Every structure is written in C-alpha cells, then in structure tokens.
Structure 1
C-alpha cells in the first residue's frame, strides 16, 4: 500500500513498472518518497511563513497545504520527465533547467524554516531594532512638541528670575533699614529717625510691588505649567499611539532582514540541506544506471514514434497517389465528346435564362 503510494508520487507508469523487477520498483518508490517528504517540508515551511503574515493558524494551514501541493506537483513533474540516455552529459543537460528550478524551490522552502530555527536570535535582533525605533520615534515626536515646551519653559524661567530679582531687592532694602535702625550703617545713629522711616517706606513699597508681581507671575507660571502638562500629555499620547506599530514590527520581511544580520554560515548550511533534499530525486535519477523500466519505456516510446512516422508517411503517399489518379480520370473525361456536348447545352440554357431575366428587370425599371 505504502509502496504503491510512493510509486504514484514518483510519476512512473505504474502499469509498466508492475512488470519490472522488485528492485526497480523499490528504486522508484524511494524516488517517490523523496518527492513526498519534500512536499511535506514545503507544507511546514510555507505554513509557518504564512502564519507570520496572517498571524492565524487556519489561513496558514490552508495556504501551506496549497503550497505543499504545488511543490509536490512540480517535483513529480520534474522527476517524471527526466529520461535516461546513453550519455550522462546529455542527461545532465536535459536536467539543467529542472535543477535550477529545484534550487529556487529549495531556497524558498528553507528560508521560513531558518526563521523558525533561529527564532530566539531573530527576536533579540528585532528587540534591539524596536528599542532603537522607539527611541528614534520618541525623539522625533519630542522634537515636534519641544518648540512649545521650550518656549513655555523659557517664559517660566524668566518670570521666576524676575521674582527672584525683586525678592533680592526687598531683602536688600530690609537689611538696609535694619542696619540704619541699629546704627551700623547709613547715618550711624541708633534709633528710628527720619532716614530710617524713609528706608522702611522704600522697603514696604518694594515688598508690596514684590507681592503684586509674585501673585501675577505665579498665575502666569501656573498657566504655562498647565499648558506644558497638556503638551506633555499630547506628546505621551502620540508616543503611545505609535508604539503598537513599532511593537508589530515582527512580520516576515522584518524577520528575513533580521536573519540576514546573523552569521551567514549556519543559515547557509541549512539552505544546503534543503537543496540536497530538493535535488536528491533528480540526482538519484541521473546517477542511477539505465534500468528495466527505462528500457521498456524507451521501447514503447520508440515504437509509438515509429508507428506515427509510418502513418504520416502513408497518409502523404495516399494523398499524392489519389491526386495522380484524379488527374488522370479528369483528363480522360475532358476528351469525351458526349460529356462535352451535354456540358455545352447546359451552359447554353443557363445563358438564355440569364438573358431573359435581365430583359425583364430592364422593362421593370422603365
């Protein structure tokens, strides 16, 4: 049962192969098994590749199954169309396009499985890229909002500096009138004289101005800080909105690019492994000697070709002979006076009828 299935996979003529030896049947069963398991590997690889695209198992299984059938059909066609010849170079030349196709298929099959095998390493590369993208994205978004933030911050710093200057001025006036009262500076007289009253009046006025200024500036600073909080909230919101795009940066193309950034040697050997699997049926058929099945198949094909060539030649000869016979028959008829007179009378009657109808049509137009 399994042997018959693998022979079916090899694309061989089962009726013709059934009359061959057991060894010949085993050889083609082995070729068919290689074709089948190559298709299975294609199904797994294609299914995983499409799973990274659709992120759903059911479409991945469906399209992976279609891809496996396609590879199975191609491999079966490639193996079944290779014919054994007397010269190895002729066989290799015949198989060259099929080998090139097998190489392409092997590369296509191996790439998704390479991505799966090196999944952890690829995830590490993608994590670094995502972090770099997140930082770059935050920097770009911040640059967009930083103009307003910097302007507001500069205004806040200016208002605070103005408050500080006025506060220092009030403190200096306070120290001045205290020193005047203590007699350590100014008039150098102890007590609260006219100069003391003048200086304390200046201090009180400056303090009132400071309190008014502080109240006004604090309100402005609070408003600017509220604006900065709104701008910062907008910045954080923009960053959070774009973060899912960065987090989703792990599709098939991203993983292929990440794979290219890993050391090439392990990936190259995996590709060689799949190349060996994909080309093994072709190589096996090229290296195997001409067997009983090949001789029988060649016998059938050459017999059919000879029959068709003979039929074509006979048809051409039949047409040529028939044409010669008809030429002779019509040549003899042309010399027969009786047939000639009958043909002349028939032509005369037709001409008379045509003449009468022409005259009738002319009368109708008058």
Structure 2
C-alpha cells in the first residue's frame, strides 16, 4: 500500500517529500492521482482498440495495437498530470479559474478522443447491424447503377428484344386460342366460329394446317429470340452484370467483422436513427451520455483540484517557493555586490598603474 500510495502521489504531480509532512492531504492527492492514472489507462485501451482496426489483417496487428495503446496512454497520462499540477492553489480564485479554463477545454477534447473508440466497442453489436444494412443497400444501389448504365448502352438491342418478346407472346396466345377452336370443331362444340358437327372435316383440316404454319413461325421466332437473348447475356457477362449479386448473410457478417475504423465510426453516428430516418431518441441519448461520461471523467481531476480548498500542503509549497525566491534574490544581490567591488578594485588598480607610469615618465625626462 505504501508503494501504491507513492505511485498515486507521483501521478498527481505533487512534491512527494513535502506532501509526506502533511498527513491530512494524503487522501486528496491519492484520489487525484488515481483519477489521472485511470484516465491514462482508458486512453491506452481506447488508442489500442482504435489502432487495432488500422492494422487489422496484418500479421502483427495485435503488437501494433499494444505499442500504440501504451504510447497514447502515456501521452495522455503525462498531459493530465501536467494539467492538474500546473494549477496554482495559492493564486486567487479568478486566477485559478483563468488558469484552468484552457486546461478544461483541452481535457474536453481529450475526453472526446478517448470516448469514441470505447463507444465503438460498447455498441459493437448495433454497429455491425447498421453496417450490414448499409452494405446491402450499397450493393443494391451498385447493381441498379450498373443495370441502368447497361440499359442506356444497349437501348436499341434491348428495345428490339422486347418487341420480339411481345410478338412471341402475342403469337403464342393466338395459337392457343386457335388450338381451342380446333378442338371445339373436332368434338362438335357449337360456337360462332365452329359448325357444331363432330368429326374431322375439311374445316378442321384447314384450321389444323393454319395452326401448324403458325407454330412453325413461332419456332422460328423463338430461335431468333434465343440468339438475341444470348447476345444480351454475353454483353451482361462482359460488362460485369452477371457477377454482381446481393450479399448473403454470411458475406454481410464477414464484411461487418472486417470493417475499418471510419466505417464503424460512421455507423456509430447512424445508430441514433431508425430505418425510416426518424430519430431513435433512446439510443441517441445513450451514445451521448456515454460520451459525456468519459468527458466528465477526463475533466474530473481539474475540477477536484479547483474545488478543493487551500490545504497545508499548498501553504508549504508557497513557503518553499518564497524561501527559494528569497534565497535567489540574496544570491543575485551578492553577485551584483561582488561584481561592483571587483569593478571598483579594477578601476582603482588602473588609476594607480597610470600614476606610476606618469611618475616614471617624468623621472626619465629629468623633471
């Protein structure tokens, strides 16, 4: 426990040897240090999870995720430690708030960055379902686009094919109707177009001959139609229409499992909306509040430092700073005094040397 306490003190950014002399302040800085540590831990998990999707599929994706997670967590930990330790509790309330404002804004940004990958993990199931719908709709749209482009490209050929199909259908309907009339004639069913006399007479023979001729024409038309359909199918195969199909459930599961960070982040923003485009208030609020929770957790050490009163540790730090400043001022004054004395001695020595030189010169001239 002693080592753990000293570790949390280190996390809070305090001067440990000074804090040890003030037992009433120990728990406060243990709490601040623990909050900073767990913020860094969440940042490491968040960064590692996000980087896992960046390197997903490579041989060392897990190693890259761990290394980046550790680096990101240490960077956030160091930044939080600096933010909290840089707030001067010996300053006035307004000055403390002024000092904390940019730090709170920075903490909010860090909280947003940390919370996003963790939200992706929390709503993993909902994100996969949203991705499946998105991929399926995208494939439908792709197929529709390709089909439309193909129809525009081969509009003449497709138009002829449709005309031949209509002619084939019309001819087949006529043959069916004539076959029914022939049966009525043979079996003696009286209609406006049959004699009502049962038997295979001249009228029935003539009708059967006409019917066979039309069936031969229909066969010829079907052969031509197959050639046209074969040509269109070949063009579809060449342009890639035959290879584009809607995804199966297994394919959708695979695509959602290997989705990248950008796709998952987009899906997270879409889970607050239903299929018809209306807003799903419950899900949207859940995502928002989870994000706000991480943001508040990131800002918590700064808030605790601001809300806590000025304790004995803060007074001790202030006294130590004042003593250090006083000693520094005395040392600076002493250095200035020594410098001035040295300068005066040099000036005095220079004057004496000048006098001696002038006296020596007079003696040399016999004055």
Whether the 8 Å contact between 1:334 and 1:340 is mirrored in structure 2 is no
1:265 to 285, 297, 304: 285
1:255 aligned residue (247, 250, 264): 264
Distance change >3 Å, CA 128–CA 279, structure 1 → 2: same
1:122 aligns with 2:142: no
Is 1:23 the counterpart of 2:32 in the alignment?
Answer: no
Q: What is the deviation of 1:226? A: 1.8
**Matched-pair contact (CA < 8 Å) for 2:111–2:295:** yes
1:230 to 217, 231, 234: 234
- CA shift at 1:296, angstroms? 2.0
1:225: how far off? Answer: 1.9
3-state secondary structure, aligned to 2:14: coil
1:33 is paired with a residue whose SS is helix
1:334 shift after superposition: 2.5
Larger radius of gyration: 1
Q: Deviations over 1:179-229 (max 9, x none)?
A: xxxxxxxxxxxxxxxxx9xxx9xx99xx99996x77875554333222222
Query: 1:333·1:339 contact (CA, 8 Å) conserved in 2?
Result: no
Alignment of 1:213-362 (within 5 A): 220-233=224-237, 234-238=240-244, 247=255, 250-261=259-270, 262=272, 263=281, 264-335=284-355, 336-337=357-358
CA RMSD of aligned residues (A): 3.8
Question: Contact 2:236 / 2:242 at 8 angstroms: preserved in 1?
Answer: yes
Instruction: Provide the aligned length of Structure 1 versus Structure 2.
Output: 312
Q: Which residue of 2 aligns with 1:136?
A: 141
1:305 and 1:223, CA in 2 relative to 1: closer, same or farther beyond 3 A? same
Normalising by structure 1, report the TM-score. Answer: 0.71
Counterpart-to-counterpart distance in 2, 1:237 and 1:120? 30
1:57 aligns with 2:62: yes
In the TM superposition, residue 102 of structure 1 has moved relative to its aligned partner by 0.9
Runs of 4+ in 1 over 6 A off after TM superposition: 161-169, 207-210, 213-216
Q: Per-residue displacement from partner, 1:296-317 (whole Å, max 9, x unpaired)?
A: 2222222112222222232233
| Bigger fraction of residues in helix | 1
Does 2:15 match 1:6?
A: no
Structure 2 vs 1, CA of residues 342 and 127 (structure 1 numbering), >3 Å: closer, same or farther? Answer: farther
**Does the Cα contact within 8 Å between 2:151 and 2:158 map onto a contact in 1?**
no
TM-score by length of 2: 0.71
Following superposition, the deviation at residue 238 of structure 1 comes to: 4.8
Measured in 1, the distance between the counterparts of 2:6 and 2:322 equals: 27
2:18 partner SS: helix
User: Structure 1 residue 289: deviation in Å?
Assistant: 1.9
